[in-house]
Amino acid sequence: MINLIRNLEETKKELEHSNKKYERLAKTLPAVLYEYVLFPTGKNLCIYVSPKCEEVLGLNQKLFLEDMNNFWNLIHKEDLPKIIKADKIANENNLNFFIEIRILFPITNEIRWLQLSSSPSEDFYENQRIWSGFILDITDKKRMEEQIFHYATIDSLTEIYNRRYFYEKLKKEIDHFIEHKKKFSILLLDLDRFKNINDKYGHIIGDEVLKHFVRETNKFLRPQDHFGRIGGEEFCILFSETTLNEARNISLNCRYIIENTPISTDLGDIYLTISGGLVEIDEHTLDVLPLIEKADKALYLAKDRGRNQIVAL
């Protein structure tokens, strides 16, 4: 009996030593380690979480273990449905779980990106499979991706789409029309006599004129529209799911406001006018270049007729 007690005590000490060693190792990892169970009722139970959760999630171990809702409440409302769905599918099919989500970090109220990954283990808790995984802070990685995307798609001067990315958007809209027959229109714009402005005032003020034009134009665009700079003073607007007549009304309003909203400079006010060629997608312009060429013909007519007008074909 004495030997049995001694053996139990030694076993207990070994387990405690093993757990402390495991905790020390867990603290050195850049991720949160966790184990949890998802019950058929939808309830989640966390049976282990490493101390790193306070640094990564702004949530201490006790709160995480007491109620997993303390973690779920941190998740960005737009990401919550997709993680619930993915978690349910993984559990029902014993599949590895991997997802990237955003949380609102409670200490600073900043948005952080997390990578969650877990796998089904061979162990069970109350007849339910235990899942083991980790949570990794990938905020820096995501910010770097956003910067790369920004530099690859955005015109550095005007902060709207560059030519390459705008054409990609246009190609997707054409594909959408082919599949769903949803009409759209494009407006090719050119700043009238912009070279004269550059020659008279210099390129620095010329750049300010371009930015002024973009700011004023953006005021009239809807969330579904796309605006791109495709040349020095040439721009294009994609009016998504918009007929020619609807796009004409927006375009004429924009032309009027640009004409009547001068930009103030140290050398005096500069009045700007625009000419535009407006076209609607049809069965003969099912590619980017034919559509742009048709809009360019309309733009040429606008300039040939005296500029400061919108011509629709």
Phi-psi region of 306 (alpha: psi -120 to 50; beta: other; left: phi over 0): left
Nearest to 133 by CA among 252, 66, 33: 33
The partner residues of 98 in beta bridges, in order of sequence, read: 117
Assess contact for 76 and 103: CB atoms under 8 A. yes
8-state DSSP, 50: -
Report CA-CA distances (Å) from 281 to 91, 184, 209, 277. 46, 6, 31, 13
Q: Is 296 exposed, middle or buried (0-12, 13-18, 19+ CB in 10 A)?
A: middle
CA distance 194 to 206: 8
233 classed as catalytic: yes
Residues written for the chain: 313
Assess contact for 121 and 131: CB atoms under 8 A. yes
- Residue 111 tokens read as 């948005």
Report CA-CA distances (Å) from 214 to 40, 163, 180, 218. 54, 15, 31, 6
- Residue 203 tokens read as 């390129």
- Cα 200 to chain centroid distance, Å, stands at 40
Residues 10, 233, 234, 259: which is the catalytic one?
233
CA distance 237 to 220: 11
User: H or E stretch including 297?
Assistant: helix 288-304
Assess contact for 282 and 292: CB atoms under 8 A. no
Active site residues: 233
